A and B are shown apart, each in its own frame.
Chain A
Amino acid sequence: MREREPGPWRLILTLGGAGWLAGALLVGVYLATDPSIQRNRARALFAAAQRVLPGAERIEAWLFKEGEPVRYEGPRDVPPPPGALFAGYGPDGTLVGVAIPAEGPGFQDTIRLVYGFDPQRRLVIGLEVLESRETPGLGDKIAYDPDFLANFGALEVEPEVVAVRRGEKRRPHEVDCITGATISSEAVVAILNRSLEAWLPRLERAAERMRERTGA
């Protein structure tokens, strides 16, 4: 005997019910895991800030309030609010550089990264990708390819950072792309340029204030 076809309402209710239950479950899981995820993110951010500022021993978060840079005094187990900078101090208390978080669209999803900037020499001195969902084996190399990351050891930022094909880097403001991951490499450079454009006019003042805290 042929099975009776279900009506449209039964189909709608089944799919709607499945979606509703899935949503409710995910909200529960999100609420249960979010504090730990935030704590891990904060730890990863501070640790990455230290790594992109070679020689830094102490990291402090800073924020701009009403145009003025002020030290962030909030808890260290949640990431500082968006727009925070990280000042890195050497063993003698001198300012080594400023770590700046930045993000932007990649090939598949948002790429989150942090880079170190030396305001005195006006150089990018390190870069680390915190989160990306680029193609495994290709685009995700932006996070671990040593040759690509070496581009950011002493990278000039003026007039602007430029992505070039692998092996064609001639000038100190150029970045060698990863073969097979040109779009992801260019995305990193675009994120860097956008962030520098927004931050450079304010960085000098911020670095001044950060230096005033030297030895604190």
Chain B
Amino acid sequence: MSGPVRESAWREFAKGWWRENPVFIAVLGLCPALAVTASLRNALVMSGATAFVLIGASLVVSALRHVVPRQVRISVYIVVIATLVTAVDFALAAWMPVAHRELGAFIALIVVNCLILGRQEAFASKNRPVLALADAAGMAGGFALSLCMIGAVRELLGNGRVLGLRVLPAAYEPWAVMILPPGGFFALGLLLTVFAWLRERAEQRRRAEQARVAAAARSGGGAP
């Protein structure tokens, strides 16, 4: 891989984690982010399944981007995504039956996760496989990070535990609401606020830095 390609791939990979995080910035894929995050373990399994589908679909769509006519591209994307989701469904039923039972219909619903179809249309269908892979891996990573953060917050406050291990003292009275559906909204709202605040702070710093550079240039330019 040449230097510029490596650099582009790294940029595409990095953007999904923070700058274009699918859940906290683009607000995509909220259905699983709210529904399967009552525990960190379920969030991890859903993240893995979504990552497999997103990366697999992006590679296939990118590799076939010159072969598939524009008129039928969406149908082909759906066939590719649905095939991968069905494969994941079978694999989980075979090798992780407890997680498969707990996630239930949400595995099949990965097909309609707009993050996946969105990345095919917006990126994979227009870029070569190495960049599509980097983009999908970064987006999958950002999605996993979001789900795990929501899952960890909910499990911690709702049970006093993380991954089944006690973290808060036994005297802690669990907030049962956090593992119920409204808890998903509370945790998501809390984390969206934190992300928005961090983004705003970074933006203010950037503006201050720009102003400082501009002021330095003006004072330097005015000198004899």
Interface residues of A (CB under 8 A from B): 3, 5-6, 10-11, 14-15, 18-19, 22, 25-26, 29-30, 32-34, 36-37, 40, 44, 108, 132-137, 140
Known: A26-B83, A36-B95, A40-B93. A133 touches B104 (CB 8 A): yes
List B contacts of A44 (CB < 8 A): 97
The answer to whether B83 and A136 touch across the interface, beta carbons within 8 angstroms, is: no
Whether B93 lies near A33 (C-beta < 8 A) is: yes
The listed residue (A11, A32, A40, A136) touching B105 by CB distance below 8 A is A136
Nearest Cβ on chain B to A128's Cβ, whole angstroms = 12
Binding site for A on B (CB under 8 A): 35, 67-72, 75-76, 79-80, 82-83, 86-87, 90-91, 93-95, 97, 104-106, 108, 181
User: How many A-B residue pairs lie within 8 Å, measured between CB atoms?
Assistant: 67
Contact B86 A29 (CB under 8 A): yes
CB distance from B174 to the nearest CB of A (A): 18
Q: How far is the CA of A130 from the CA of B66 in the complex (A)?
A: 45
Chain A residues with Cβ under 8 A from B35's Cβ? 136-137
Instruction: Give 25 CB contacts A-B under 8 Å.
Output: A5-B71, A6-B69, A6-B71, A10-B69, A14-B67, A14-B68, A14-B69, A15-B72, A15-B75, A18-B75, A18-B76, A22-B82, A29-B90, A30-B90, A33-B90, A33-B91, A36-B94, A36-B95, A37-B90, A37-B93, A40-B94, A44-B97, A133-B105, A133-B108, A134-B105
**B105 and A22 form a contact (CB under 8 A):** no
> Are A22 and B69 interface neighbours, CB within 8 A?
no
Query: Taking A29-B90, A133-B108 as contacts, is the C-beta distance between A11 and B72 under 8 angstroms?
Result: yes
Residue pair B181, A140 in contact (C-beta under 8 Å): no
Contact A29 B93, beta carbon cutoff 8 Å: no
Name which residue of chain A comes closest to B79, CB basis.
Answer: A18
B residues in contact with A37, CB < 8 Å: 90, 93-94
Looking at chain B's contact residues, the main secondary structure is: helix
Q: Are A18 and B80 in contact (CB under 8 A)?
A: yes
The residue in chain A whose Cβ has the minimal distance to the Cβ of B83 is A22
A19 to B79, CA, bound (A): 7
Residues on A with beta carbons closer than 8 Å to the beta carbon of B76:
14-15, 18
Q: B67 to chain A: closest CB distance in Å?
A: 7
Instruction: Give the Cβ gap from A91 to chain B, nearest Cβ, in Å.
Output: 28
Q: Residues of B contacting A40 with CB < 8 Å?
A: 93-94, 97
Do residues B106 and A26 form an inter-chain contact, with CB atoms below 8 A?
A: no
**A134-B108 Cα distance, complex, nearest whole Å:** 12
The interface residues of chain B lying within 8 Å CB-to-CB of A137 are: 35, 181
Please measure, in the bound complex, the distance between the C-alpha atom of A22 and the C-alpha atom of B108, giving whole angstroms. Answer: 16
* Inter-chain contact A33/B80, CB cutoff 8 Å: no
CB neighbours of A34 from chain B (8 A): 94
CA distance A208 to B95 in the complex (A): 39
B108 to chain A: which residues have CB within 8 Å?
133
How far does the Cβ of A34 sit from chain B's closest Cβ, in whole Å? 8
Complex interface: chain A residues within 8 A of B105 (CB)? 108, 133-136, 140
Per the bound structure, the CA–CA distance linking A5 and B68 in Å amounts to 12
Q: How far is the CA of A103 from the CA of B76 in the complex (A)?
A: 35
Shortest distance between the CB of B218 and any CB in chain A (Å): 49
Chain B residue with the shortest CB-CB distance to A40: B97
Q: Which residues of B contact A19 (CB under 8 A)?
A: 79
- B29 shortest CB reach to chain A, Å: 15
- What separation, in Å, do the CA atoms of A19 and B97 have in the docked complex? 28
Cβ contacts under 8 Å, A29 to chain B: 86-87, 90-91
Expressed in whole angstroms, the minimum distance between the Cβ of B74 and any Cβ of chain A is 11
Task: For A134, list chain B residues within 8 Å (CB).
Answer: 105
Q: Which residues of the other chain, A, contact B97 by a CB distance below 8 angstroms?
A: 40, 44
Closest 4 CB pairs of A and B: A36-B94, A33-B94, A22-B83, A40-B97
Interface centre among B35, B82, B105 (most CB of A within 10 A): B105
| B75 partner residues in chain A, CB cutoff 8 A | 15, 18
